Amino acid sequence: MKVLLLARYVLVECSRRRVFIVVPILSAAFLGLYWFAVARVFATSEFSSVPGPFDERLVVASTMLGLGLFGSFFLGVVLIVFLTFTVARGDAEQGLLQPVVVRPLGRRTFLIGRFLGAATVSMLYVILLFACCVLITRGISGWSPDNVVQPALELGAAVVIVGALTLLGSVFLATIANGVTALMLFGTGLVAGLIGQIGEALNSPTLENISRVMSWALPFEALYQSALTSLTEGISGLSGFLIRLGPFGGAQEASPGLYPWTIGYLAAVGLLTIWFFRRRDL
């Protein structure tokens, strides 16, 4: 059970290292800002009391929650990147890794333990942030999505995929290079999603195809889009159409293969990471 031992030490690390003090501070700042933004939007907008062709309050509330989902995703990604970007090469160069790997546990156990710890912390964190956003939105607008569990889990899975890719990168790249690469990869995924939305709005199959291929290659983006989509699932008619036009509307339907693909993808990235890490001189 050395896997769990190593995972637990990641939690201890989070609770003790001084850099991690910024996590609650930044999270509180983000949530405060989110609360402020939602409150302002609802205080300043003049919603017509006559029922129109679409529900303005609903459109605003769900768009704001989409923004909250994105913010949570971003912070969760930063956290998991921070927890995984030095695990192999960076820590080896510091000499942090050698005393541990030389113990009778095997490099595979080491990697899985570290990853499990980072994934657990980041997943709980991102789900907590998102839950706060849902509560804030409901408190102010009275609206909450029909389905919160699915987007929360998809968000968690998206963050875990970014972590798995960062861990793979950490086998080859030194600390800073890997951190930069991981965040750039994350940015690339986001751009891919935006290309898809633009493609859909412009009705351009080429753009949509580019986006689709990239979402498969970087499935955290597909999961994020799917989370956005499932937020607004229950909203139909013109309201739903308008929401999906916005950047946080989640225009693309997730393909039914997304979940098996996510699991297979994680397994493949994991196996590759272990395979390369075993071959490395430390």
Partner 1 sequence: MGAAFVAESLSKNYKSVRALDGVNFEVAEGELFGLLGPNGAGKSTLVKIGCGLVHPSGGRAEVCGAPAGTRAANARLGYLAELFRFPGWLTADEVLVLHQRLSDSDGGTRERAELLELIDLSRAADRRVETMSKGMQQRLGIAQALVGSPRLLILDEPTSALDPAGRRIIRALLEELKGRRVSVLLNSHLLSEVELVCDRVAIILAGRIVSEGTPDSLRAGSGVEVETDSGVKHFPDAVRDEIPAIVDRLVADGARIYEVRTTRRSLEDVYLEAVEGQTG
Using CB under 8 A, list all residues that contact partner 1. Answer: 2, 5, 9, 12-13, 16-17, 94-96, 98-106, 279, 281-282
DSSP letter for each residue of 82-131: HHHTTTTHHHHHHTSSHHHHTSTT-HHHHHHHHHHHHHHHHHHHHHHHHH
Residue with tokens 């890794």, as numbered in its chain: 97
Cβ distance to partner 1 smaller for residue 98 or 209: 98
State the burial class of residue 253 (Cβ atoms within 10 Å of its Cβ: 0-12, 13-18, 19+): exposed
Establish how many alpha carbons lie within 13 A of residue 182's alpha carbon, considering only the half-sphere containing its beta carbon.
33
CB of 15 vs partner 1, minimal distance in Å: 9
Q: Residue 128 CB, nearest distance to partner 1 (Å)?
A: 23
Give 24 or 139: the residue with its C-beta nearer to partner 1: 24
Query: Least distance in Å: CB of 277 to partner 1?
Result: 12
* Residue closer to partner 1 (CB basis): 51 or 104: 104
Kind and range of the H or E run holding 192:
helix 175-202
Q: How far is the CB of 164 from partner 1 (least distance, A)?
A: 23
CB of 98 to partner 1, least distance (A): 5
What's the CA angle centered on 152, arms 147 and 156, to 5 degrees?
Answer: 155
Within 10 Å of residue 99's Cβ, how many Cβ atoms?
A: 8
Compute the least distance from the CB of residue 103 to partner 1, in Å: 4
For partner 1, the closer CB: 40 or 103 = 103
Cβ distance to partner 1 smaller for residue 121 or 159: 121
**Inter-CA distances, 139 with 4, 20, 30, 38, 48, Å:** 38, 29, 17, 10, 20
Q: Which residue lies nearer to partner 1 by CB, 93 or 253?
A: 93
Give burial (CB, 10 Å; 0-12/13-18/19+) of 202.
exposed
- State the minimum distance, in angstroms, from the CB of residue 281 to partner 1: 4
d(CA 196, CA 84): 29
Is the Cβ of residue 20 or residue 261 nearer to partner 1 in the bound state? 20
